């Protein structure tokens, strides 16, 4: 039962239409589990802040996202993008 609830939680994540690297992580989860959700939700909103976060950027080709084939997550995170980003650590006062 724990495995099934975990798979349901993963499928819920996969269906979350969130930008940033969450879509990339969900893509990897879909490749790793035997019964992923049939679709990966992808935001259609044009948001400038995400550009340049990592390379290569995810693209949609014929309704599908090609799986990144580089090491690790398959992409290279742009350190200069991170250095310029505003952030807040959860729990900070």
At 66 the pLDDT is: 87
- Domain extent for 48: 2-84
Cβ–Cβ under 8 Å, residues 60 and 74: no
**Percentage of the chain exceeding pLDDT 70:** 73
Enter the pTM of the model.
0.68
Tell me, yes or no, whether 12 lies in a domain: yes
At 78 the pLDDT is: 93
Query: What is the C-alpha separation between 32 and 29, in angstroms, rounded?
Result: 5
Query: What is the C-alpha separation between 60 and 70, in angstroms, rounded?
Result: 18
Tell me, yes or no, whether 40 lies in a domain: yes
Query: 61 vs 10, 34, 44, 83, 89, CA distance in Å?
Result: 24, 23, 14, 31, 35
Tell me, yes or no, whether 90 lies in a domain: no
pLDDT digits (tens, 9 = 90+) for 38-79: 777 777 666 777 888 899 988 888 888 888 888 999 999 999
Tell me, yes or no, whether 91 lies in a domain: no
Query: What is the C-alpha separation between 20 and 50, in angstroms, rounded?
Result: 6
- Count of domains forming the chain: 1
């Amino acid at each position: 039962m724990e495995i099934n609830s975990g798979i349901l939680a993963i499928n819920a994540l996969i269906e979350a239409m969130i930008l940033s690297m969450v879509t990339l992580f969900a893509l990897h989860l879909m490749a790793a589990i035997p019964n992923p959700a049939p679709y990966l939700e992808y935001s259609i909103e044009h948001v400038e802040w995400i550009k340049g976060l990592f390379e290569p950027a995810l693209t949609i080709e014929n309704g599908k996202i090609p799986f990144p084939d580089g090491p690790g997550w398959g992409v290279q995170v742009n350190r200069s993008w991170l250095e310029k980003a505003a952030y807040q650590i959860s729990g900070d006062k």
